[in-house]
Amino acid sequence: MSSLVLTTAQKQAIRQSSSPEAACHLVYHATDDAFYFGDADDITGWIRDVLCVETFWGAMCDGGVVTWFDWDHGRLAHRVPEALRAVGLSEFAPCAEKALAIHSAPPYPDTLKEWDEIIERIRDAQLEDDFDTLVYDEIEKEFFALHHADSTRFRTQLHRYVLSHLED
């Protein structure tokens, strides 16, 4: 397994980004080839943390837990609690852990390939006629209460993390 690293040009673009959001998206986009066309397990370390946190936040804001598990990046769901803690957003980790616990218990697999089977079971469960997405309501309320308490903290903290690890 090789490890994804950013090029000098990508690092420079991140430093010169017009906003924290733009900088975080550059890291996210740098992972696309490995995630979609290569070996997603090559995305490791701080870059994986950023991808996990960015996609968790985006999915939760776009549709909640169902969306988080449903999007392609749901393949990273089991890595999200650890990533939230690593970037300094540990208060959000229980939201992810509670959502995961509805469907699966730790320990989680070491590779994304091993997790694929579990995420497919989660997605299938969500499609069942008797699955009630209300089980996610409290998790989403908790997430948005934290998010709305300081709506810039999530992105600002993630951006700090990116900048502190650019030379890793």
Question: Digits of tens for pLDDT over the chain (168 positions)?
Answer: 568 899 999 999 999 999 999 999 899 899 988 888 888 889 999 999 999 999 999 999 999 999 999 999 999 999 999 999 999 999 999 999 999 999 999 999 988 889 999 999 999 999 998 899 899 999 999 999 999 999 999 999 999 999 999 988
Q: What is the pLDDT of residue 2?
A: 67
Question: Residue ranges of the domains in the chain?
Answer: 8-165
pTM, two decimal places? 0.94
Task: Specify the CATH number for 8-165; select among 2.40.30.60, 3.30.1320.10, 3.10.180.10, 1.20.1420.60.
Answer: 1.20.1420.60
Three-state SS across the chain? CCCCCCCHHHHHHHHCCCCHHHHHHHHHHHCHHHHHHCCHHHCCHHHHHHHHHHHHHHHHHHHCHHHHHHCHHHHHHHHHHHHHHHHCCHHHHHHHHHHHHHHCCCCCCCCHHHHHHHHHHHHHHHHCCCCCHHHHHHHHHHHHHHHHHCCCHHHHHHHHHHHHHCCC
